[in-house]
Amino acid sequence: MSDQGHNKTYEPEITVFTCIYCGYMSADTAGALRLQYPPNVKLIRLPCTGKTDVGYILRAFEMGADGVYVVGCPIGNCHHVRGNERGQARVERAKKLLDEIGLGGERLNIFFVSGGMGATFAHHAEEMTERIRMLGPNPLK
């Protein structure tokens, strides 16, 4: 196994699926507030995290992401009513699959934030980057 994971200079590539409402707005708020978060976090917008598909998540890893996470509206506040709960269920399913195929479910996560929570968005980006840095690069690469 590579020891790159413990190398502080290793910058993981992270794919983030956000809904176009609170999820994306929180990233936008972070930008407007000039909050720094790791630049290797690549955002992909979905109409709702309920559109998150296990296939999209696996595809992101296949394409070389070292980590993936989903950012949606707070539970109870999804613009598509319960889409975020469906998204959460898919993330849980995908985590199990990642464990089974040896990639590790801890490379995947989901967070719920409201649109004004720019600092929380930046915090999750830091937190996931740090976690993936410890885990090391995607072994599929």
> Where on the chain is the footprint of ligand FES (CB under 6 A)?
19, 21-23, 48-50, 72-73, 78-80, 83-84
Residue closer to ligand FES (CB basis): 22 or 108: 22
DSSP character string of 75-123? TT-BTTBTHHHHHHHHHHHHHHHHHHTTS-GGGEEEEE--TT-HHHHHH
Residue closer to ligand FES (CB basis): 12 or 23: 23
Residue closer to ligand FES (CB basis): 93 or 141: 93
For residue 79, the minimal CB distance to ligand FES (Å) is: 4
Q: Is the dihedral of CA 122, 127, 130, 132 positive or negative?
A: negative
For residue 139, the minimal CB distance to ligand FES (Å) is: 30
16 DSSP β-pair partners: 43, 69
Q: Beta-carbon neighbour count of residue 75 at 10 Å?
A: 11
CA angle 12, 138, 106 (to 5 degrees): 85
For residue 45, the minimal CB distance to ligand FES (Å) is: 10
For residue 86, the minimal CB distance to ligand FES (Å) is: 9
Residue closer to ligand FES (CB basis): 40 or 77: 77
